[in-house]
Amino acid sequence: MKKFITLFFMSTLCINLNAQTPTDSIGLYAIHDGKATRIEKLTHSAIKGSGGLASMATFGMAKMKSKLEFKGATSNHQFDGTATLRIYFGKPSPQQITELYMFTPTNSIKNFEVARFQVKKGKRLLTGVSVSLLGSRVGVPSSDEVQVETKEIREGVFEIIIKGEPGEYCLMNNSNGTGGFGGVFDFTIK
């Protein structure tokens, strides 16, 4: 019995030593005045196609596009001129692994990119597939309209500073060229 109590105590101590504090909980956070607010992953609600008629009329030369549609015209996470985000990498619980797989230690900050939404009729759109006889592209491209600065605060914790024109943006995991399809983290620059 004494061995069992000692083993239980040591196991509990090891678990608590390796536990992350709530402020270090893995995922992505918006930073406002030093306060961190979690940004939940946003997944597309529909996939819309366009360009089929133009492609037929030009014998495949015009592009056909598939766009990922996200609900709402704007994000709840608003920034004035510059967005400051913080990523915490770690080991998610088994219940969170499908939601937070991109933040495991086997992934890298280099797999994250910023994309800009196109806003139409109260929805935000990202072009996920573009196809023509001249070529095709799968995955949401990163935005050339922003300046991104990344700095490591400590091992597994990174701060991302994004400067850009006013608009709707998102941070996405683009490992294996799947940007946008696995969900995005939205924010607005005013």
Residues of the chain with pLDDT > 90, as a percent, come to 45
* Per-residue pLDDT tens over the stretch 116-140: 999 999 999 988 777 777 776 666 7
pLDDT at residue 22 in the model: 39
Cα of first residue to Cα of last residue in the chain, in angstroms, is 63
Are 79 and 189 in contact, with CB atoms under 8 Å apart? yes
Nearest to 35 by CA among 100, 2, 84: 84
Domain count along the chain: 1
Round to whole Å and give the CA distance between 162 and 115.
11
Are 153 and 140 in contact, with CB atoms under 8 Å apart? no
Nearest to 178 by CA among 88, 44, 38, 77: 44
Task: Look at residue 148 and tell me whether its pLDDT is greater than 80.
Answer: yes
What three-state secondary structure class fits 170?
A: strand
Judge if pTM exceeds 0.85. no
Q: Which residue has the higher pLDDT, 176 or 183?
A: 183
What three-state secondary structure class fits 86?
A: strand
Residues of the chain with pLDDT > 70, as a percent, come to 75
pLDDT at residue 46 in the model: 84
Q: Which residue segment(s) compose the domain that 43 sits in?
A: 2-189
Task: Look at residue 55 and tell me whether its pLDDT is greater than 90.
Answer: no
Q: Which residue has the higher pLDDT, 39 or 14?
A: 39
Round to whole Å and give the CA distance between 42 and 186.
7
